[in-house]
Structure 1
Amino acid sequence: MSRLTVLAGPTAVGKGTVSAHIREAHPEVWFSVSATTRPPRPGEIDGVHYRFLDDEQFDRMITGGELLEHAVVHGRNRYGTPRRPVEEQIAGGGSPLLEIDLQGARQVREAMPDALFVFLAPPSWDELVNRLIGRGTESTEEQERRLATARTELAAEPEFDVTIVNHDVRSAAEELVDLMGISRSG
């Protein structure tokens, strides 16, 4: 039977990188495309990486019950998971994977308690700080805000069914795929 897998963890832990590896190595895994009110980062494509919406469009989706979960992340932008595509994947026997934040994972647990909830953890706090600063995509102020959020997110690890420590992207990705019950390719 198909079931939803939810991947969450602190900012800069490598959720996106692990997910990118799975996308490449395991095309049978279906990824939800989240909606967000934040502007695209360089190289991000609307409808591929995110559905980039304005506040009014996002509000309409909330009001219409079209989001499985939604949250304000880092005190600034809103993110959400469109409900219908996830439900269609589960009903069709697919292998859906949501890569979302802690707030979203909590809402999904309420809506779909049978999902598998996986926490992606950093090898250490220092490594998390190095990854955030090293990617160079946020201002110093934004880095500080994200690190404050990360402390809270790390404390939520016991809420998850399984923890994967992201020492190495490939290993973390394959461990997640194994948990999903998908055989390794290649």
Structure 2
Amino acid sequence: MILSSKLIVDFQVKDRKNRQGYFFVVSGPSGVGKNTLLNYALERVRGIYYLPSITTRPMRPGEAQGFPYFFVSKADFEAMITQGAFLEWKQIHSGDYYGTHLPTIVYALENGYDIITDMDVLGCVEVMERFPENVVPIFIAPPNMEELRQRLAGREKDTGVIARRLERVDMEMGYVDRYRHVIVNDDLERAGKELVRILEQYSQRE
């Protein structure tokens, strides 16, 4: 199934706003808690749609089509690249592809739907350049490097992987000033409430 023009989000008319949609982009170092905060906020804020990335990696236990990713074959992904279906895409060291679906973004923003996704800092820069009037960039920062190192060690046993992810942190933190909002994730409840407040600040506008 090639998704070059088909939407990957099931938008509901009741959530349509009488304005252009907002595109919330959440970035931050690996292990900082982006997905945890996203889940916290989306359980509490209505009318904002999660935009899953499209990937060729295998689906894991507990995952489903569309959450946390939309899963496709490599052949389909490469066909979509040729057809210009991605706002941005990358191929990681495992050989798997990840991409952000452009037709869904365009449809949402033009039709008054608010969407949110997590994206690395380089991808976020591309989004800000493409949709400067719609993007609300939000950076999730760790309280300190030692805390981030401990979080990574708690979920990843491969020390080489941990080291590579920590090497990226200085680069990622170098983009903080490009973000409109910065949340320090030192406490889930506090940081989650701050993210909810930011999302509601925009989504409740008509």
TM-score interval (norm. to shorter)? 0.7 to 0.9
Taking structure 2 as the reference length, the TM-score comes to 0.78
CA contact (8 A) 2:37 2:195 kept: no
State how 1:72-87 maps to structure 2 within 5 Å. Answer: 72-73=91-92, 77-87=96-106
Distance 2:193 2:166 in 1: 27
Structure 2: any 5+ residue segments left out of the alignment? 1-18
| 3-state SS, counterpart of residue 150 of structure 2 | helix
Deviation at 1:146, TM superposition (A): 1.4
1:9 paired residue among 25, 28, 51: 28
Equivalent in the alignment of 1:124: 144
In structure 2, how many angstroms separate the alpha carbons of the residues matched to 1:133 and 1:86? 35
**Equivalent position to 1:69, from 67, 79, 88:** 88
Preserved CA contact (<8 Å) 1:71 1:104: no
CA offset digits 1:45-81 (Å, max 9, x no partner): 2322101233332222222111122234578643211
Alignment of 1:9-28 (within 5 A): 9-28=28-47
Matched, 1:36 2:59: no
Q: Distance in 2 between matches of 1:65 and 1:133?
A: 38
Q: Distance in 2 between matches of 1:119 and 1:71?
A: 21
Distance in 2 (CA, whole Å) between partners of 1:119 and 1:61 is 29
Aligned length in residues:
182
**Structure 1 residue 158 corresponds to structure 2 residue 177:** yes
**Partner Cα separation in structure 2 for residue 93 and residue 117 of structure 1:** 18
Instruction: Tell me which amino acid in the other structure corresponds to 1:172.
Output: A
Q: How far apart, CA to CA, are the structure 2 residues paired with 1:86 and 1:37?
A: 20
Amino acid at match of 2:187: D
SS in 2 for 1:25: coil
Aligned to 2:11: none
Q: Distance in 1 between matches of 2:139 and 2:74?
A: 29
For 1:128-183, what per-residue CA distance to the aligned partner results, in whole angstroms no more than 9, with x for missing partners?
111111123x5222222211122321222122122111112233233223223246
Q: In the aligned structure 1, how far is the partner of 2:117 from the partner of 2:132?
A: 14
Q: Find the residue that maps to 1:113 and give its secondary structure.
A: coil
Q: CA RMSD in A?
A: 2.1
Q: Which residue identity is paired with 1:132?
A: L
Instruction: Quote the residue 2:160 is aligned against.
Output: 141
Higher Cα Rg, which structure = 2
Q: Distance in 1 between matches of 2:81 and 2:192?
A: 31
State the identity as a percent. 33
Q: Say whether the 8 Å CA contact 1:74–1:145 is kept in structure 2.
A: no
**Which segment drifts farther, 51-60 or 154-163?**
51-60
Deviation at 1:122, TM superposition (A): 0.7
Say yes or no: does 1:169 pair with 2:188: yes
